[in-house]
Amino acid sequence: MPFVCLTALMIGPGCNTVAPVTHRTAAQVGERTPPPHQTYIAPLDVEIAELTASGAAEPHADWTAQAERDLLAALQNHTGFRPYDAADLQRPEVQAELQDVGVLVHLMSLNQLAGRVPNAIGPVPPSAATHAFDYETGRLSAHSDYLGDGAVLFIHLRESYATGGRKALAALGLVSAAFTGVYVMPTMGSTLATAALVDDEGHVLWINQVTVAPDLRTPEGIAQLVSDLLRGLPAPIPAPVES
């Protein structure tokens, strides 16, 4: 029954299942993926928040800033891609284009996530996850005109952690449940990370989502997230063999 495996996803290993496949790749991706030195990392869209006792998510500036630094370093180390220079982002047309495409590919990722199983819980069935897809954003003309041919990696990350008050509320609920027999577990936090690689012609070459992660307030947690999120990232086009 699906319930058994979904429970395993929440509380730990409990089913003999293959590691879920969540990424999708475009047709002919091997012919379109540029080398690392021609691939850029778009400005990161990151927010780490605290969940208050009432359940409101309040952005935590220090956690967010640290996560951004650790995430950018881990992405560069993992891929060899380069971030945009400050001078690149001073061009309003480049900045606006990256923002627009970033929003679009994030929505594409949410569409993929919603298609996994009902209520967007659980792994993508391998047959649905690995077949090619065909998404386009429109040509990245500002990027291409200014920086030449290549590709851009877009990352979106939202994470939240419960405050002490939120945890105390959960403990109080357990005490109340002993008398009422009813217990509703308050949310202790959530993770949503999406990634997409888009070439300068606007072809979405690869896309992935992660909804479970270790503590992203640590460099080790960020490194593990990057390893999970970039699973299936296509290899670059092989360099031509000189005769």
How far apart are the C-alpha atoms of 32 and 108, rounded to whole Å?
20
Give me the pLDDT at residue 174, please.
40
Give me the pLDDT at residue 29, please.
76
Give me the pLDDT at residue 34, please.
85
Helix (H, G, I), strand (E, B) or coil at 21: strand
Give me the pLDDT at residue 229, please.
95
Q: Where are the domains of the chain?
A: 20-229
Half-sphere exposure of 88 (CA within 13 A, CB side): 17
Each residue's pLDDT expressed in tens, for the chain with a length of 243 residues: 333 333 333 333 333 333 466 788 887 777 778 888 899 999 999 999 987 755 667 888 999 999 999 999 999 999 999 999 999 899 999 999 999 999 999 998 888 877 754 444 444 444 444 455 788 999 999 999 988 889 999 999 999 886 544 344 444 444 344 444 443 344 545 789 999 999 999 999 999 999 888 899 999 999 999 999 999 998 776 555 554
How far apart are the C-alpha atoms of 116 and 176, rounded to whole Å?
36
As a residue count, the chain comes to 243
Give me the pLDDT at residue 32, please.
76
The answer for residues whose C-beta is within 8 angstroms of residue 53's C-beta and 6 or more apart is 163, 165, 166, 168, 169
How far apart are the C-alpha atoms of 215 and 208, rounded to whole Å?
20
Residue 76, number of CB atoms within 10 A of its CB: 15
Give me the pLDDT at residue 167, please.
44
List the beta bridge partners of residue 203.
136
Give me the pLDDT at residue 240, please.
54
Tokens 């220090």 sit at which residue? 62
Give me the pLDDT at residue 20, please.
61
What burial letters (b/e) apply to 100-118, b meaning 16+ CB within 10 Å? Answer: ebbebbbebbeebbeebee
